[in-house]
């Protein structure tokens, strides 16, 4: 039988499936709340009537969360929710099915096969990548990146940094962040700037003003927080060199969790202004 714990592929993109786990990963050896998101019924069916999660050996079940109007049954390696009469999940209505457990201490990629029943039809989300890791699978299993201790479990999307010109001392960096288990962004660093801080711009008596967020920025569990011009952003000052369009800005993002455990994430941020962000970037003046 093929192992469900595969070597971590840092550059791989998450598969687009109907049953998924929130992106961002989780720390090896940690307690993990696996939130399976169901967004559609099976093909050509009106509703989802049952969801069955098969648990890999590298995940130890602690608790399966009941769902109102559904019957719950669980064992060491499987959890199943079955809808009562009239309680099926309508097509295209999103819902979460939650399992809590303990993760393996070995970093890698963990796969959770999920069977979705829709009356007399079903969809078995159980396919694993083959030799062509970039190929799109029709029914991929739910993926979880199990990260080494110290690597932040956070998803970074749509990152960009505003280009600068010679003589310009500062610029901003922007992105969307989400943390499956919740984190607080408490710092940022880059070798290309003498000072890097987390800032917020907000209206004060009719004037847009900037302030440093000395206590950091909360990332509530499974919620996307956007850093953008005119709002939260990363401010880079005392630039060591101009940031030229088409290059990459190396950033180290620093986080702490609810228990105060520190972690960080290394990201390469494209230096460019995305289409649609030019006007906002132009108004982002300190």
> For residue 94, what are its two tokens?
């999103």
| CATH topology match: 5-9+16-147 vs 155-283 | yes
pLDDT value for 69: 97
pLDDT value for 275: 78
CATH fold group of domain 155-283: Immunoglobulin-like (2.60.40)
Q: How far apart are CA 113 and CA 66, in angstroms?
A: 19
Torsion of CA 190, 192, 197, 200, to 10 degrees: -120
DSSP 8-state assignment for residue 25: -
pLDDT value for 203: 61
Domain ranges of the chain: 5-9+16-147, 155-283
> For residue 231, what are its two tokens?
């709002």
pLDDT value for 204: 67
Centre a 10 Å sphere on the Cβ of residue 77 and count the other Cβ atoms it contains.
12
Each residue of 190-242: pLDDT tens digit?
Answer: 999 999 999 998 766 667 688 999 999 999 999 999 999 999 999 999 999 99
Q: With a cut of 70, which residues of the chain have pLDDT below it?
A: 1-17, 131-134, 203-206, 208, 276-286
> For residue 173, what are its two tokens?
């960096």
pLDDT value for 12: 36
pLDDT value for 3: 43
Q: Could you say which architecture CATH assigns to the domain 5-9+16-147?
A: Sandwich (2.60)
> For residue 46, what are its two tokens?
């009106």
């Amino acid at each position: 039988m093929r192992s469900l714990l595969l070597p971590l592929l840092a550059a791989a993109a998450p598969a687009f499936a109907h049953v998924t786990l929130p992106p961002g990963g989780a720390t090896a050896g940690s307690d993990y709340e696996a939130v399976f998101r169901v967004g559609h019924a099976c093909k050509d069916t009106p509703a989802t009537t049952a969801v069955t999660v098969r648990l890999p050996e590298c995940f130890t079940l602690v608790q399966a969360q009941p769902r109102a109007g559904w019957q719950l049954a669980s064992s060491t390696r499987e959890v199943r929710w079955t809808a009562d009469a009239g309680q099926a999940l309508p097509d295209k209505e999103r819902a979460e099915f939650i399992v809590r457990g303990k993760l393996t201490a070995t970093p890698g990629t963990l796969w959770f096969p999920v069977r979705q029943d829709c009356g007399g039809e079903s969809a078995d989300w159980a396919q694993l990548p083959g030799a062509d890791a970039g190929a799109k699978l029709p029914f991929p299993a739910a993926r979880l990146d199990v990260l080494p201790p110290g690597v932040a479990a956070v998803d970074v999307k749509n990152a960009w940094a505003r280009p600068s010109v010679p003589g310009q001392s500062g610029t901003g960096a922007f992105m969307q962040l989400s943390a499956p288990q919740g984190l607080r962004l408490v710092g940022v660093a880059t070798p290309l700037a003498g000072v890097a801080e987390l800032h917020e711009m907000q209206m004060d008596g009719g004037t847009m003003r900037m302030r440093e967020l000395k206590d950091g920025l909360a990332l509530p569990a499974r919620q996307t927080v956007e850093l953008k011009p005119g709002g939260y952003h990363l401010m880079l000052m005392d630039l060591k060199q101009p940031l030229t369009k088409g290059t990459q800005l190396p950033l180290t993002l620093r986080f702490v969790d609810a228990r105060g455990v520190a972690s960080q994430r290394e990201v390469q941020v494209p230096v460019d202004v995305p289409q649609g962000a030019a006007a906002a970037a132009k108004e982002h003046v300190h």
